[in-house]
Amino acid sequence: MSTNLIHLKELTTNKNQWKSLKISNRNNTSSKIFSKNKIEKKPKWIRVKLPTGEKYTELRGLVDKYNLNTICSSGSCPNMGECWGEGTATFMILGNICTRSCGFCGVKTGKPEKVDWSEPEKVANSIKIMKIKHAVITSVDRDDLKDMGTLIWSETVKSIRRLNPNTTLETLIPDFQGIEKHLDKIIDVNPEVVSHNMETVKRLTREVRIQAKYDRSLNVLKYLKKNGINRTKSGIMLGLGEKENEVFQTLLDLKDHDVDIVTIGQYLQPSKKHLPVVDYIHPDQFDHLKKVAEQKGFRHVASGPLVRSSYHASDFKPELDLQRDLAV
């Protein structure tokens, strides 16, 4: 974040008291997102292991066999090796070509292919074969469709529930342009968690999420919660030129709109055609933001350089199982 000095508080090990810790900003860039002072070299805390292992190979084979799309590979997720090694993945429905052209996103943009009506069954069968206990589903934006893809969304959740009755679900949805009748289709199938990402602070939304609107995304989250979704979730990226006070304000906005779970991670540039990284945020600052968010009353907070919206999503499963049992 574009602040020259960041003051954190850290509990000392020898004395049970707080001391002030100052962390210098790695580069004194401006708040503009297209800064000329681009960082070329990633710091050591960003490095990840190459994907390997039996579970990863098995999941890679299933994805290829059934021609499935995952945001893990399409979005160049740095945790793909870890998550796939544990036998978990985030499935992406409605194809792999998005109608929007967000400056941060590695998913292809352009004219999407025709809807694959067999996709709900394919995803449900794959979850069954993989024995996934907590599934995460997301999709590209389909502004080209009258229902923006919500019928496929609904059928996918129903198919997963039919073939995997003990699997809990998290759905990471687009904004569907804020149209309530489309959001109602998600509410009707009632996933245990519904997520919609803010991605960045209000000032940078137009540059980062060209066709999206900050307040519209907040209203989507509020509508979901108000109309029966038990757990709502959102995520933001850091390192795009945001300021610390703007991040605090976004957290306040999310809490004011009754969001339960928040994720905070480092933006990583998918290619040279995408928005540059303005700052690499130190892990200590992510720890500080986690404490701040928890103090604001969020039910769960995940904050770290490599955190993504669905990272360790299955950690919530025991609570979601209890939630579903109580609802029966």
Contact 187/225 with Cβ under 8 angstroms?
no
Give the count of domains, the chain.
1
Q: What are the tokens at 305? A: 């350089």
- Show the 3-state SS of the chain: CCCCEEEEEEECCCCCCEEEEEEECCCCCCCCCCCCCCCCCCCHHHCCCCCCCHHHHHHHHHHHHCCCEEHHHHCCCCCHHHHHHCCCCEEEECCCEECCCCCCCCCEECCCCCCCCCHHHHHHHHHHHHCCCEEEEEECCCCCCCCCCHHHHHHHHHHHHHHCCCCEEEEECCCHHHCHHHHHHHHHHCCCEEECCCECCHHHHHHHCCCCCHHHHHHHHHHHHHCCCCEEEEEEEECCCCCHHHHHHHHHHHHHCCCCEEEEEECCCCCCCCCCCCCCCCHHHHHHHHHHHHHCCCCEEEECCCCCCCCCHHHHHHHHHHHHHHHC
Q: State the residue range of the domain holding 112.
A: 5-327
Amino acid at 277: V
**Distance between CA 282 and CA 42 in Å, rounded?**
11
**Closest to 171 measured CA to CA, from 159, 198, 189:** 189
Q: Give the CATH number of the domain where residue 150 resides.
A: 3.80.30.10
**Distance between CA 239 and CA 253 in Å, rounded?**
20
Tens-digit pLDDT profile for residues 85-140: 555 667 889 988 999 999 888 888 999 999 999 999 999 988 888 778 888 999 99
Residue with tokens 């945020």: 281
Angle at CA 54, nearest 5°, toward 132 and 137? Answer: 30
pLDDT one digit per residue (tens) for the chain, 328 residues:
543 323 333 323 333 332 322 333 333 333 333 333 455 578 988 876 655 666 667 766 776 776 665 555 544 555 555 665 555 667 889 988 999 999 888 888 999 999 999 999 999 988 888 778 888 999 999 999 999 999 999 999 999 999 999 998 999 999 999 999 999 999 999 999 999 999 999 999 999 998 999 999 999 999 999 999 999 999 999 999 999 999 999 999 999 999 999 999 999 998 899 999 999 999 999 999 999 999 999 999 999 998 977 666 556 555 655 566 556 5
Global confidence as pTM: 0.79
